[in-house]
Amino acid sequence: MSNRPEIEYPYDMQIKVVGYGSPTFESQVEEVAARHGSTIKPDSDLRQHQSRTGKYRSLSFVFHAQSREHLDALYRDLESCDQVLWLL
């Protein structure tokens, strides 16, 4: 039996995606988020961090999940991107 608290949806979930520092990484993440109804505005909704060497980059944004299935579908689609390495 799990002691994990139950999440009530809709829920604003902070998503962090770590990937390669390539020019296509950010656009891939934005495209997937848009397919799931989330528009990421780079000037206000997106936080970015580049690794010291520039090889990796992380993107954080808030995703408005309507249900657990909606959130799971976003994660599955992000995992399928060739530029994505980890999801938190």
Chunked into runs of 10 residues, the chain (88 residues) has average pLDDT values of: 77 94 91 88 78 94 93 96 94
Following CA atoms 44, 47, 53, 56 in sequence, which dihedral angle do they give, to the nearest 10 degrees?
A: -120
Confirm whether 72 is domain-assigned.
yes
Domain assignment present for 5: no
Which pLDDT belongs to residue 44?
65
pLDDT of residue 3: 67
Q: What is the pLDDT of residue 57?
A: 96
Q: What is the model's pLDDT at position 40?
A: 74
Task: Report yes or no: 21 and 48 within 8 Å, Cβ to Cβ.
Answer: no
- Give me the domain span that covers residue 17: 11-87
Specify the DSSP class assigned to residue 4: P
pTM beyond 0.75: the answer is yes
Based on the structure, what is the number of domains in the chain? Answer: 1
Q: What is the DSSP letter of 13?
A: E
Residue whose pair of structure tokens reads 């002691």 in the numeric block:
3
Q: CB–CB of 73/7 below 8 Å?
A: no
Q: Is residue 3 part of a domain?
A: no
CATH of the domain at 58: 3.30.70.260
